[in-house]
Structure 1
Amino acid sequence: MDTMEGKLPENVLLFTHLLRASGIKIGSDGVTDAISAIKTLGLKSKRAFYFSLLTCLTKKKEDEIIFRQAFDLFWQNPKFQEKTRNMLLPRTRVSEQDEQKEELAQRIRENLPKTEKIKKLDELEDNIIFDTSGSASDIQLKKSKDFGTMSKNELRQATDVIRDLSVHLPQKPFRRFEPKKMGPHLSVRHGLKDSVKNFGIVLPKFMKKKEKDRPIVFLIDISGSMENYSKMLLHFVHNLMQRHRNCLVFLFGTKLTNITHLLKNKDIDDALQKISKVTDDWAGGTRIRDSIYEFNKTWVRRTPVSGSLVLFISDGLDKNHQSDLLIQMERLKKNCKYLLWLNPLLRYKKFLPKSVSIKRILKNVDALLPIHSLESIENLTLYLSRKPKGDSDILNWRTRILDREKELTA
């Protein structure tokens, strides 16, 4: 038909690639249905064109937010690529409305497929993560740089790196078995079943227990001293929850807040905006003991904490030294399989547990890891990808700090 002449089918296909890169799952049947709908309805009505694509290319209501943003930038602005390049040029005065448009364009532009130039940059040395050569300022982001000292542009680049990380949860054995070529157990049932094909000859068949992802629980400190690190950890947790749904996330400052349902949203910006509305203690004080007590009392029985890996993200600084923090951490340790402490204070090479609260927490954790840079987050992914071995783990700082403290006190 006349309405489908020119580059419209190609543009529909490019728009589909953009939606897929933004996190919307679209099959080939959705693309063909979209093109057929446009053939039937034509291009006389902008409203009909929008809803025909929305109906054919989205299946969930939460995808509509991403679709609307991508549609506005892709179809209504023919010079979208040119404008996004112009956003990199320095400007002396920017209004709030322009900043919102820039953030909106940046969100969709980051999901566009990588060009050959960016692919070559990804193959550079390990100590360089991102290089914006050719823009207003050339910035090289190093893995070891502290999140607290990064600029806004560097933090944006770091979140892109965290979003592309491949994270694998530790496995735990399931009660059922599955056949394997080599395994610790003999499967009599499979051996007798295959004997029919082997003229009555029973050959040994092996089996092993099935494995499934171990549940993981995040307890993230959002006090003032942890603000920059908590924001980066939320991007890491969001990336993890898009692949593994068996995750629970809690924020604590002066109170405990469950945000698991909010981070299931595919749009991280929309999720962070909703999180800011439900947490009124962000960048405030911290009550570690009260938050752990509330988790042990309220959430342990309501969530699959038993057999899970608990990640406690905090600097461990609590002003109330008269509390029973030691008892609450002991109870938390008994209710989970592994208790991992991620502390940004490990960015200091001569870190020692001088605070009373840090000493009490350190006695009840299986491992202690830093969480202040991209390098530390990559080490965390390595730790999660294999079964934690407590004090024998090479990434564990706990034994090194305890040995250093003994040397100084001896």
Structure 2
Amino acid sequence: MSEELLDRVIGFGRELRDEGLPVGTGQILEFSRAAAMLGPADLYWAGRATLVTRRADIKPYTLVFDRYWTGNYGRRVEMKEVIERVRGVADDGGLEGGERGRDVTPDAERASRLELLRTRSFAKLTPEELSELARLVARISLAVPLRRSRRRQAARRGAPDLRRTLRRSFRTGGEPVERAWRERRLRSRRVIFIVDVSGSMASYSRGLLVFAHAALRSSGNWEAFCFGTRLTRVTRALMRTDPDVALARAADEVLDWDGGTRIGESLKQFLDRYGHGGMARGAVIVICSDGLDLGDPAVLAAQMRRLVRLAHRVIWLNPLQEQAGYRPIARGMAAALPYVDTFASGHSWASLEALADELAD
């Protein structure tokens, strides 16, 4: 699949999200693979099979598809006409190959390549493969979890809105015939990514920062920190458009890369400088570490107790979980585990993507 077509496919997923359809990152990747293997005449059905999960979403999906791929705005058309226009766009070069798109050998290999990079452990990826993965996923938007704010807005159902109901009753002689309702607004919840870049995490830390880069490019509600023996904020460095440049800038700012690990002291720095200032309050904290701490486990346990009082949810990703028979018996891991809401692996892009979709839901 060409870079131009991949951008258009991802843009189509964003259009569906803006329309209110629950389209996840994994669904967009499935649609990308299906679009690579099928011809343009099958593009509508490929998207409908991978992006639509509810019967009620078929109509808005069709309207967005017609508007995005064919440039039609509001005029009712038959599906045969839509397919013909998509085929015409393909013949003009907007999509690859017209009926030649059914020659799936190059595109199928590309789709298989993407799937291989998604599922392979970060520890087994070469630097070139990590760069390739970073370029592929940099265009994908990662959703952030939502929370209900204290502010309310007009709605079709919910709690009675007495003020608007009384105002409307003036039209009907004081009788509350037309009732009004309101509900609490939804706001994005902050997600804070704290990545261990010590020597024991060297095989995974770059891959985890690839995910952090994609997340930060998707939403301003993500924050990223790195730690070894001390804490470094790398949010601004990872906001660079080019993933290779962003990771290089982050590596330059982190002076203790590939050094020792002091998780408790690093969390204390985070809470003292940022957490109690409001950043961690009500946020989702994602700590990525193998738990091999050189510091005092009592310090780590004390900081985890402070953290859970502020955060909405604490998630610990330990890439060592990909190893068969792994047990969290390291001193640091054992001290932190009682305060963790979710203990999962983060050894591959697929596992991180599943976690992001879970948080968004």
TM-score normalized by the length of structure 2: 0.66
Task: Kindly indicate whether the alpha-carbon contact (under 8 Å) linking 1:121 and 1:130 is maintained by their aligned counterparts in 2.
Answer: no
What value does the CA root-mean-square deviation take over the aligned residues? Answer: 3.1
Cα offsets for 1:121-173 (capped at 9, x unmatched): 8996xxx97446xxxxxx97254321111234432333244324331111111
Q: Which residue of 2 aligns with 1:189?
A: 163
In 2: Cα distance, 1:170 partner to 1:121 partner: 38
**252-261 or 297-306: bigger deviation:** 297-306
Higher relative contact order (CA 8 A, sep 6+): 2
Q: 1:349 is aligned with what amino acid?
A: A
The one-character-per-residue Cα deviations of 1:263-301 (angstroms, maximum 9, x if unpaired) are 233333332222222212112221112111211222223
**Letter of the structure 2 residue corresponding to residue 287 of structure 1:** R
Superposed displacement of residue 322, structure 1: 5.5
Give the distance between the partners of 1:122 and 1:167, measured in 2 at CA.
28
* Secondary structure in structure 1 of the residue aligned to 2:316: strand
Structure 1 residues 141 and 114, CA, compared in 2 at 3 Å: closer, same or farther?
Answer: farther
Q: Percent identity?
A: 28
1:202-281 alignment, distance < 5 Å: 202=176, 203-281=178-256
- Please state whether the residue corresponding to 2:339 is helix, strand or coil: coil
Select the structure that is richer in helix.
2
Paired with 2:182 and 2:103, the residues of 1 have a C-alpha distance of 42
| Letter in structure 2 aligned against 1:174 | S
- CA shift for structure 1 position 246: 2.2
1:24-43 mapped onto 2 (5 Å cutoff): none
For residues 334 and 118 of structure 1, the distance between their equivalents in structure 2, rounded to whole angstroms, comes to: 56
- Alpha-carbon spacing, 1:301–1:188, altered in 2? closer, same or farther (3 Å): same
| Cα distance in 2 for residues equivalent to 1:325 and 1:169 | 28
CA distance in structure 2 between the aligned counterparts of 1:152 and 1:329, rounded to whole angstroms: 33
Aligned residue number for residue 141 of structure 2: 166
1:375 maps to a residue whose letter is A
Distance 2:297 2:291 in 1: 15
CA–CA separation in structure 1 for the residues paired with 2:257 and 2:198? 6
Aligned to 1:32: none
Deviation at 1:232, TM superposition (A): 1.9
Which of 265, 273, 282 pairs up with 1:298?
273
Match of residue 262 from structure 2: 287
Sort the Cα spacing of 1:142 and 1:257 in 2 relative to 1 into closer, same or farther, 3 A.
closer
The 5-angstrom pairing of residues 123-134 of structure 1 reads 130-131=111-112
1:141 is paired with a residue of what secondary structure? Answer: helix
Residue aligned with 2:276, SS: coil
Q: Is the 1:177–1:209 contact (alpha carbons within 8 Å) kept by the matching residues of 2?
A: yes
Contact 1:121 1:131 in 2 (8 A): no
5+ residue gaps, structure 2: 9-93
Partner SS, residue 302 of structure 1: helix
2-side partners of 1:379 and 1:197: how far apart? 52
Q: What is the CA deviation profile of residues 18-63 of structure 1, one whole-angstrom value per residue up to 9, with x for unaligned ones?
A: 9x99xxxxxxxxxxxxxxxxxxxxxxxxxxxxxxxxxxxxxxxxxx
Describe the SS at the equivalent of 2:232. Answer: strand
Count residues in correspondence: 268
Query: Which entry has the higher C-alpha Rg, 1 or 2?
Result: 1
Q: CA deviation at 1:336?
A: 1.2
> Which residue number in structure 2 is paired with residue 58 of structure 1?
none
Q: Distance in 2 between matches of 1:166 and 1:232?
A: 17
Q: Taking structure 1 as reference, are residues 228 and 376 closer, same or farther at Cα in structure 2, changes over 3 Å only?
A: same
Once the two structures are superposed, residues 80-124 of structure 1 have per-residue CA deviations (whole angstroms, 9 ceiling, x without a partner) of xxxxxxxxxxxxxxxxxxxxxxxxxxxxxxxxx984669978996
How big is the shift at 1:204?
2.0
